[in-house]
Structure 1
Amino acid sequence: MTQPQTRRTFLAGLTAASAILAFSPSARAWLSQPDAASDAVCLPSLDGQLLFAPDDLAAAADDFGHIVHQTPVAVLLPGSIDDIRAILRFANAHRIPVGGMSMIGNTHSVYGQSQVEAGIVINMASLATIHEIDEDSALVDAGVRWIDLLAATTPLGKSPPALTDHIDLSIGGTLSVGGIGGQAFRHGMLVDNVLELEIITGKGKLIACSPTHHADLFQAALGGIGQFGIIVRARVRLIDVPGMARRYTALYPALVDLMADQEKLIDDGRFDYLEGFAQPAEGGGWVYQIEAVKYYAAGEPPDDAALTGDLTFAPSTLTVEDLTHFDFTNRIAPLVALLKSVGAWQLPHPWIDMFVPGSEAASFIQSVLDQTTPDDMGGGPILIYPFKRAAVTAPFVALPDEPTVYLFSLLRFAPPPVVATLLAKNRAIYETLRDLGGKRYAASGIPFTSADWHDHFGALWPAFAHLKHRFDPRRILTPGPAIFD
């Protein structure tokens, strides 16, 4: 339907491929002449480009976290889905690792999850077509950003049911890890609102799948951390949404009071969106902010008293703001622009996102905050909000086994000298969380081993490993998270 940037204009703006024509399996080397080694294998013919220039490799050796740097030998800029199939068949035949969940420049991978040392990274930015929008769904390429989809659906009065707070992310990359936002209590994660996928497995096979067709691959790929295949196209749910959003924020002096109100609100469902934050308090410590949003049609505003009258926040701190639905979903864009202008966005991001059992949430979150200072955060936000475990259906998005789960995130901005210290803190926090039955979010910056991943998936590990063997038996896909030794 629409294509924000044509393949031709995108390719014209990038460094041309070097004269690399072949690969030597025995030497594990890329060659400029096919006959330079007796076993030289010519590269497959492509509609797009395979890039070898240093600038292109350097871009692929970084991510949003700016912590891990693994340099590939090539970057595929596909001109078609067939290019990805060809490269994956080639990589599978010669055991070349492939970074399969990355769209360079539009990923929130913070610890090298989408990078690949001495392999091939696929940049999905050139496959970004919105193919169709109908009454209840949209068919999109994996390189489409959520902001582009919203720009197309908002004039039609439609939106995906769930969105991340930052919508300048690729759809394929988000679906590979889960995707969570303030609508999770009502609609689950982004992976819970997908109707169909087209996936290219580690063997280079293109499979169309859904809950009723190749359901095992469909369920595995959603939140599967890029281990089973590369999502190249998705049909995502759309729902009708009014054109306006009324946003309420207010402060609480105590965490337990914020959480009590949040749990009341996800039970009765009076709001369409709900999150919460910890903010530095004057004189030290933290205060707690609720953020709740009600969608409404223009000229039919909600009843403020009915929505907020029984909540226990400090009344003098209540603020009410009206935005268009699109402006609300894109509300952090001005903040991101500011952070970029002052250089903070370019700093390392040793982020940690956690899923905390509801029964342990108050004590665990408070204990972590008691050991966290504003300087540790570097101006980054701290997120605290609950959702219903039953709303999340993707099997490999590991969550605590309790009815209510809290997302608790420390989204730090850190100068390079303190990154190692903060990563060690992340590991210590995670170990405490793990012992309480909590789980990490896959995109987090936590030092992790294959044994940790085995523990993370728990009873689902045998199924995870079996599907890996079935769809990516040579384990070429997405080695960055180190799930398999």
Structure 2
Amino acid sequence: MTQLSRRTFLKSLVAGAVVVGFDRATSSWVTSAHAAEQLAPNFPTFDGVLYTDAATRAEAAEDYGHIIHRTPNAVLKPGSVNDIVRLVRFAKNNNIKISGRGQGHSTYGQPQIQGGVVIDMSTLNTIHEIGRDYVIADAGLKWHQLLDSTLAQGLTPPVMTDYIELSIGGTLSVGGIGGASHQHGVQIDNVIELTVVTGEGNLETCSKNRNKDLFESVLGGLGQFAIIVRAKLKLIRAETSARVFNLFYDDIETFTGDQTRLIRDGRFDYVEGQVVPKAGGGWNFMLEAVSYYSGNKLPNNTRLLRNLSYTQGTEVISDTTYFAFLNRLEATEAFLRSIGVWFLPHPWFDVFVKSRHVNQYVGNILETLTLDDTGQGPILLYPVKTNKFTKPFFRVPDGEIVFLFDILRTAPNIPEVINAMMASNRELFETNRDLGGNRYAIGAIEFSQADWQQHFGNVWNDFRRAKNRYDPCNILGGGQGIF
């Protein structure tokens, strides 16, 4: 890999050339040896490494979606938070776009940037402190790694996403939803304090009681205002075991009715659900509910299953450890990697649907949806309570309860198939939008600036003001296409 020194700025950016500086007047890289003597002293030194080799840049031009490909000019693997401060300040002064990248699990180029610099946050992955009810950790740490350490203290974050190999900073930039969200909100609702680098290059600490506007803006702010570098997160007592109930349904009305009942009465710690293929074609529905416990304090199955209308005799009930349940996708990931499916395009569709529309909206889609349309990918459908969501830029429809609906598509490497799935995503989005629904911004839906303005609705002016305040030169978050 090619490293950058102070006097050989951005080597190998252009084939056959050595880039030694940046000309503000022309917003271009400078390759003159004479200019190197003049410009190199202005370039910052780093505790980590700024890479310009083709392999590192190509890796940063990809994400899990494998649909959008934007190649940066360089990739910073920071050795410290100060590296990010130095780079952002330099980028601001020279009109260079910056993008933070966690695990690259986005599906439509959200952390990518063409011609700018990607910050690979994975090198900042330290747990700094675990207290009685909190943990302080770097944004590049994976939730899996965090959980390993907190469980050793009998503690856990209140909400975990289904896939726990994501970075802390990555999920905090979009929301971080999971089966416990009906009780605890999304992950951004369980943050105590953040350390961030704003688009001005300022290192700031923020919380509900300190720099509150910055705190509220960054959480769920889609990387538009600052780069999250560290987070203080809420912890709760962790149980050791999980009893998992998979309950099956033939019709969507009964299925969503039981889901709604469960999140209202709170009898389960975790509630999700899937649309599952039926033998011979068509779809059934699986309600997934979990009760956590420790020792011999076993859950009461009769109490937990009372008044539910699943198809009797089809239920599957099993016990596992708390960690094994949260890490249940590990084996699936290993299998998908082994057969190459993990590396195929993933044009995911992710939206929030109003409760009163969910049965008709999803039911209409399922009338014609086939396994070929999903690429054998799972379909998620489950409710959450909107009163648990506290951050203004995490957008969900009006109503006490809304449903997350995800078609987690996998496509072959065939442009026509990918384009057809993307067109379907757009059509399904527009139908839901017209019913008052919202996009969950992890998916692959082509969005215009007008779409983003509609998405943020009555907080759009607040969103725009936060951009002007914290990233006035618009160097951050370009992969989202908001500004």
- The aligned counterpart of 2:49 is 49
State the partner residue of 2:253: 256
Partner Cα distance (1:334, 1:313) in 2: 28
2:346–2:410 contact (8 Å) kept in structure 1: yes
Q: Distance in 1 between matches of 2:34 and 2:474?
A: 29
TM-align CA RMSD: 1.4
User: By how many angstroms is 1:34 displaced?
Assistant: 6.2
User: In the alignment, which of 393, 396, 414 is matched to residue 411 of structure 2?
Assistant: 414
Match of 2:15 in 1: none
1:58 matched residue in structure 2 = 58
Match in the other structure for 1:83: 83
Do the aligned residues in 2 keep the contact of 1:24 with 1:39 (CA within 8 Å)?
A: no
Alignment match, 2:16: none
Note the alpha carbon deviations across 1:454-474, whole angstroms, 9 max, x for none.
000011001100010000001
Q: Is the 8 A contact 1:24 1:37 kept in 2?
A: no
Output the amino acid matched with 1:207. Answer: E
Show CA shifts across 1:252-294 (max 9, x none): 0001111010000001100000000001111211000010000
Cα distance in 1, alignment partners of residues 333 and 3 from structure 2: 31
Which residue type is aligned with residue 81 of structure 1?
Answer: V
Q: How does 1:474-485 map to 2 (within 5 A)?
A: 474-484=473-483
Q: 1:99·1:114 contact (CA, 8 Å) conserved in 2?
A: yes
| Residue in 2 that maps onto 1:350 | 347
Note if contact 2:239-2:293 (Cα within 8 Å) is conserved in structure 1: yes
Partner secondary structure for residue 394 of structure 2: coil
Question: Match of 1:152, as an amino acid?
Answer: S
The answer to whether the 8 A contact 2:195-2:231 is kept is yes
Equivalent residue for 2:387?
Answer: 390
Taking the aligned partners of 2:351 and 2:306, their CA distance within structure 1 comes to 31
Q: Which structure 2 residues correspond to residues 225-236 of structure 1 after superposition, within 5 A?
A: 225-236=222-233
Structure 2 residue 393 is the aligned partner of structure 1 residue 374:
no
Cα distance in 2, alignment partners of residues 449 and 204 from structure 1: 28
Task: After superposing the two structures, state which structure 1 stretch, 29-38 or 304-313, moved more.
Answer: 29-38
Indicate if the aligned counterparts of 2:349 and 2:425 stay in contact, CA closer than 8 A: yes
- The residue type paired with residue 457 of structure 1 is F
- Counterparts in 2 of 1:363 and 1:193: CA distance versus 1, 3 Å: same
Contact map agreement 2:173 2:223 (CA 8 A) in 1: yes
For residue 315 of structure 1, report the CA deviation from its aligned partner. 1.9
Deviations 1:348-388 (A, max 9, x none): 00001101111111111111222311111112110000010
Q: Which of 120, 130, 148 lines up with 2:127 in the alignment?
A: 130
Q: Aligned to 1:416, what secondary structure does the other structure show? A: coil
- Offset of residue 27 of structure 1: 4.2
- In the other structure, the counterpart of 2:186 is 189
Letter in 1 for 2:90: F
Q: Which amino acid aligns with 2:385?
A: K
Does structure 2 conserve the Cα–Cα contact (< 8 Å) formed by 1:195 and 1:235? yes
Could you tell me the TM-score, scaled by structure 2's length? 0.95
Query: Partners of 2:87 and 2:432 in 1: how far apart?
Result: 40
1-structure distance, mates of 2:36, 2:2: 27
Q: What is the identity, as a one-letter code, of the residue corresponding to 1:216?
A: D
Q: Distance in 2 between matches of 1:452 and 1:416?
A: 28
- Work out whether residues 25 and 40 of structure 1, in 8 Å CA contact, stay in contact via their aligned partners in 2: no
Aligned to 1:174: 171
CA distance in 2, matches of 1:37, 1:172: 36
Alignment match, 1:444: 443
Q: Deviations over 1:420-476 (max 9, x none)?
A: 110011001111111111000111100101110000001100110001000000100
Distance in 2 separating the partners of 1:244 and 1:155: 14
Question: Is the CA contact (8 Å cut-off) linking 2:62 and 2:104 kept in structure 1?
Answer: no
Q: Match of 1:11?
A: none
Q: How does 1:257-296 map to 2 (within 5 A)?
A: 257-296=254-293
Closer/same/farther in 2, CA of residues 181 and 346 from structure 1, 3 Å limit: same
Distance 2:39 2:434 in 1: 51
Distance 2:349 2:209 in 1: 35
Q: Distance in 1 between matches of 2:38 and 2:24?
A: 7
What secondary structure does 2:480 align onto?
A: coil
TM-score with structure 1 length normalisation? 0.94
Counterpart for residue 427 of structure 1 = 426
Counterpart CA distance in 1 for 2:2 and 2:324 is 35
8 Å CA contact retained: 2:182, 2:263: yes
User: What's the counterpart of residue 117 of structure 1?
Assistant: 114
Equivalent position of 1:24 in the other structure? 23
Aligned AA (2:215): F
Cα drift, residue 15 of structure 1: 5.3
Separation in 2, partners of 1:308, 1:238: 29
Question: What one-letter code is carried by the residue in structure 1 that aligns with 2:450?
Answer: A
Instruction: Tell me the equivalent position of 1:5.
Output: none
2:462 aligned partner: 463
Where do 5+ consecutive residues of structure 1 fail to align? Answer: 1-13
Number of residues of Structure 1 aligned to a counterpart in Structure 2: 468
Cα distance between partner residues in 2 of 1:296 and 1:385: 23
Matches within 5 A, 1:192-207: 192-207=189-204
- The residue type paired with residue 198 of structure 2 is T
Per the alignment, residue 14 of structure 2 pairs with none
Residue identity in the other structure for 2:481: A
Contact 1:15–1:56 (8 Å) recurs in 2: no
Q: Which amino acid aligns with 2:111?
A: S
1:306-385 pair list within 5 angstroms = 306-385=303-382
Match among 217, 221, 224 for residue 218 of structure 2: 221
Identical pairs, percent: 45
Amino acid at match of 2:400: P
